[in-house]
Amino acid sequence: MEIIWPEKYSNGNTTVHVSSELEIPAPAEVIWAWLVRASLWPEWYSPIKAVTIEGGGKDLAPGSKFSYRIFGITPSSKVEEFVPFERLGWSTQYEGVDAYHAWLIEKKPAGCHVFVGENQKGWLANLNNRLRPSNGKYYHFIWLQALMEKAKQGFPPA
């Protein structure tokens, strides 16, 4: 299983490529529930301080437009791929960065293999990658570890 990058965000059309993966001992349905319940991200992934889903609601859905506060910026994002229990992807933009963030959940006998990747382009994406080349991988791995801890607890609250 691999990410289906939109052409605009393919490896050949972007300059920064970040990914991380982890085996999570939980069902895909539980992992998915935590990923799409974006309103709770700030409670378990500390870099995110606030999430706003256009039109309200707690969960991401196909085509959802949303923003979140992270590292002092507020990117504008849109869900581009939504395959329940398997694939979630969104485009995101802020000054100097145009990116695509993707999650893959692959069912395994003892849980799931979860992959998170991001392809970026833009002057700020390139500068950040030069100055802090391991930051993206580090923060994606922290997100995966936090997701694992939440998924081990079962479904998020209603």
pLDDT at 16 over 80: yes
Q: pLDDT-derived band of residue 158, with 50, 70 and 90 as boundaries?
A: confident
- Residue 74 counted as domain residue: yes
Q: Which domain holds residue 51?
A: 11-152
Whole-number Å distance between alpha carbons of 68 and 30? 22
Q: pLDDT-derived band of residue 133, with 50, 70 and 90 as boundaries?
A: confident
pLDDT at 2: 86
pLDDT at 135: 84
**92-123 per-position pLDDT tens digit:** 999 999 999 999 999 999 999 999 999 999 99
What is the dihedral angle through the alpha carbons of 17, 18, 24, 26, rounded to the nearest 10 degrees? -70
How many domains is the chain built from?
Answer: 1
CATH number assigned to the domain comprising residue 70: 3.30.530.20
pLDDT at 29 over 90: yes
In one-letter notation, the amino acid at residue 122 is: G
